[in-house]
Amino acid sequence: YEETNPPRLALAASVCGLFDSSDVIDNGNGTYTIQTFAYEIGGDPACPGEPYGDQPVAAFCTGFLVDEDLMLTAGHCISSGSM
């Protein structure tokens, strides 16, 4: 939300977050809520004063769009059991 450079905004529009479908809650009124959690790495929270370290997180990995309905992500984001 802080970026104002149009070329960077266009690139950012292709980035996506991956999250578990079990974290999507049907509100029963045509809307959905994504469950969030505190940012941690290895069970440790962000350092005090870390920018955005206190914001909730939903995604477990990221990817980017390469076509209207095709996403590319890193291999470690997908387990063999999820295919």
| 7-51: pLDDT as tens digits | 999 888 889 899 889 999 999 999 999 999 998 888 899 999 999
Per the structure block, which two tokens stand in for 13? 């529009």
For 41-62, what is the mean pLDDT? 90
Residue 80 has pLDDT above 80, yes or no: no
- pLDDT tens track for 9-19: 988 888 989 98
Query: Tokens 């505190």, residue?
Result: 38
